[in-house]
Structures are given as C-alpha cells and as structure tokens.
C-alpha cells in the first residue's frame, strides 16, 4: 500500500531585477524592472499564466509535468476528482493504488482496516482465505481456526473454543460441528448415497463410524504422519486361504464442521471401496489420490461456501502422496471419465 500526501509546489513569485534574462512565457528579453524567477525560468509577471485558464498567476501556483496552474484551476480542473466522493480535491491528497482521495474519504471508506479491531492497517498485515485482513500483532496473541483459517476473534467469528486435544475452532465452525455418532452415522449414509450416484458403489449396509479425539487418531494411524482427520480399519476373515468376510470401522475426528466431516467421510468410504475392489498392494499415491478425488466429487453436491477452503487445500497440497496423487488422478479421470478411472483402479497398482 502506498500512502502519501501529494507534493504541492507552492511558491510566492519573487520580483527581481533583469540581467539579460529571457521570459519563458513570450521568449522576449526581460527588460529592466520587475520579473519572476520560477525554478530556473524567468517570466514577465503578466506572462506567468495558468496553463488552464490563461490568466496571470498571482500568489500560489502548482506545477504538474512542467506546466503551471493557479490554485482554483489546479484543484477544480486539472486534478481528477476524489475517487470516492467525486468532488474536487484539496491540498490534503492521498494516493492509493493509482487513485486519488481526500484524506478523510480515504480514511473512512478506502483504507485497509483490520477485521479484528477495525483499526487502520498502515503496514504489513495478514490476510486469510476469505479476504479478511488483520494486523500482524493479532496473530502473536491469538489463534487461527484450524478449519476455516479465520482469526478467532469476537468481531470476525464471535469467539471460539479450544478442544481438549489442542485444536482451536472458531464459533462459526462450531455451529455445525459433528459431536455425536448419531449425526456421524446419518451423514455417512448420505455420503454413501451420493457416492453411489457417482458409480462408486459400496454394497455394505452398515459401516460403523466412531468419533475420536486427536490422540486416539494418532494411535490408530501408528507410524503415519498424524495429519489425517479420518482412518478406516479393515477387518478381514479368511477361510481356506480365501477372503470369506470383510468388515470396516471408520474413525473421524470429533467436533469437525459438517462440510469437513462430509469431505473426510467421503475420503474414508473410498478407502472401503478400494479394499473391496482393488489390490491391497496398490501404490499409496494412487490410493490417497483417488480418495481425495472422491472427496472432491462429493463436495460438489453441496452449496456450503466453506467447501472452497477444503477444495483449495486439496489442489494446493504439496505432499507427494496426497497432493501429487490427487492431481494426477483428477487430471486422468477428467480426461478419460470416471468409469474408466474406476475400472483402472480394479486392474492396476500405480498411477497412470
């Protein structure tokens, strides 16, 4: 952001004695008597004129690109009007992003303001995914919501809470948080129906879903990164060397906002589909990339604007398993179609 008061050159012309000077107005020598010296130029008093109205300038003058103007013409006809109120500017001008403003118009209507405290932002600032801007110092004393990235504050989010496992969640996200396994089971069935519409068909009637905190999730994940918000456990029964039965348990972090829960449970249900239809020796990039792609397919069924931060996270993920795998699967499925993608998963072990 550039902020400055426009430099106005204001000089009361000096009356001097002529010494072989040439008038910059008429080109004639300045005779003995009075004349004006403006910078390095000399003028007969009557030839130092306003470039707009042509009248001699007496008193204050303003220079712009080598041309001179009297005060009235400069502010009413030469300078563009205030970009906010469209009225003539005065000598207190603020330039911002190529436009000029009255100082008051700029401060009241244009200047960047902190979403948390409404104070003017006049130096570096933090901007969240939603375009809210904050003073940097607020980040030192506060927390961003782990789900929506907004700074947790009374003004922006109505406050927030800290879960027992250390997650900081704003009250906007808390409103739709999934806290009971009854809620979780209902949404799991809904997502399973939507996957069916996408030809990702899971015939199992019941798949238990359990809500757990972060320590329990990390325990379930074992040596894996622990960033995941869900986990699918496959319980396989063999008879005479062949699979006779498969049952699944899905674990999801408790207290997630509904749209984040939906995205996660879609990812985990795709794991179930892969267990039922593909090889357990498949490359993890193809597994996790396909599960993230299934999550995207389900999110498109919902109008919740909060899904955009999830989709942004999927598309910008740098992890070679979750990020690269997803982008390759998405591009390939987009080119060849979803049926071809699902058939590919049944027969191949690595990314196309």
**pLDDT value of residue 7:** 38
Mean pLDDT of 47-60: 88
Looking at per-residue pLDDT, the higher value among 220 and 20 belongs to: 220
The rounded mean pLDDT for the chain is 87
Confidence of residue 226 (pLDDT cuts 50, 70, 90): low
Mean pLDDT of 54-63: 86
Confidence of residue 90 (pLDDT cuts 50, 70, 90): confident
Decide if pLDDT at 252 tops 80.
yes
Give residue 66's region: left, alpha or beta (phi > 0; psi -120 to 50): left
The domain segmentation of the chain, as residue ranges, is 1-78, 125-174, 177-347
Contact 242, 207 (CB under 8 A): no
Closest-CA residue to 133 (of 146, 148, 120)? 120
> In whole angstroms, what is the distance from residue 232 CA to residue 258 CA?
19
**pLDDT value of residue 299:** 98
Mean pLDDT of 313-332: 95
Q: What is the four-CA torsion angle of 248, 167, 309, 160, rounded to 10 degrees?
A: 130
Cross-strand partners of 237: 245
C-alpha separations of 320 from 206, 262, 263 in Å: 33, 24, 20
Cross-strand partners of 29: 22
**pLDDT more than 90, % of the chain:** 55
Looking at per-residue pLDDT, the higher value among 258 and 87 belongs to: 258
**pLDDT value of residue 298:** 98
Contact 327, 334 (CB under 8 A): no
The residues, ordered by sequence, that sit 6+ positions from 18 with a Cβ below 8 Å of its Cβ are 29, 30, 31, 32, 33, 35
**pLDDT value of residue 244:** 63
- Torsion sign across C-alpha atoms 95, 98, 99, 100: positive
**pLDDT value of residue 72:** 82
Mean pLDDT of 173-202: 96
> pLDDT per residue over 107-149, tens digit each?
888 888 899 998 888 788 889 999 999 998 888 888 999 999 9
Assigned CATH for 1-78: 2.10.110.10
Q: What does the buried/exposed string (b/e) look like for 59-82 if buried means 16 or more CB atoms within 10 Å of the residue's CB?
A: ebbbbeeeebbbbebbbeebbeeb
> In whole angstroms, what is the distance from residue 35 CA to residue 43 CA?
6
Mean pLDDT of 293-309: 96
């Amino acid at each position: 952001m550039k902020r400055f008061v426009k430099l106005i050159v204001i000089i009361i012309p000096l009356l001097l004695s002529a010494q072989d000077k040439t008038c910059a107005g008429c080109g004639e020598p300045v005779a003995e008597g009075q004349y004006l010296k403006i910078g390095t130029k000399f003028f007969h008093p009557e030839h130092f004129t306003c470039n707009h109205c042509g009248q001699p300038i007496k008193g204050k003058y303003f220079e712009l690109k080598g041309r001179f103007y009297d005060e009235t013409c400069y502010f009413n006809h030469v300078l563009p009007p205030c970009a906010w109120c469209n009225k003539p500017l005065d000598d207190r001008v603020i330039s911002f992003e190529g436009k000029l403003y009255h100082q008051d118009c700029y401060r009241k209507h244009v200047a960047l303001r902190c979403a948390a405290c409404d104070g003017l932002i006049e130096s570096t600032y933090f901007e969240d995914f939603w375009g809210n801007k904050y003073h940097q110092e607020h980040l030192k004393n506060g927390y961003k919501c782990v789900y929506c990235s907004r700074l947790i504050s009374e003004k922006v989010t109505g406050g927030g809470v800290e879960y027992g496992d250390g997650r900081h969640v704003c009250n906007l996200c808390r409103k739709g948080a999934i806290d009971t396994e009854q809620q979780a089971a209902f949404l799991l069935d809904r997502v399973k129906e939507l996957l069916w519409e996408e030809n990702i068909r899971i015939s199992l009637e019941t798949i238990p879903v359990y809500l757990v905190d972060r320590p329990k999730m990390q325990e379930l994940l074992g040596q894996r990164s622990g960033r995941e918000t869900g986990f699918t456990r496959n319980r396989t029964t063999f008879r005479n060397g062949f699979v006779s039965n498969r049952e699944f348990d899905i674990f999801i972090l408790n207290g997630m906002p509904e749209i984040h829960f939906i995205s996660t449970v879609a990812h985990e249900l795709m794991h179930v589909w892969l267990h039922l239809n593909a090889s357990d020796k498949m490359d993890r990039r193809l597994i996790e990339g396909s599960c993230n792609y299934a999550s995207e397919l389900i999110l498109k069924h919902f109008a919740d604007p909060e899904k955009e931060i999830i989709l942004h996270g999927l598309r910008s993920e740098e992890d070679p398993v979750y990020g690269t795998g997803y982008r390759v699967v998405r591009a390939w499925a987009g080119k060849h179609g979803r049926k071809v993608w699902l058939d590919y998963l049944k027969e191949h072990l690595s990314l196309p």
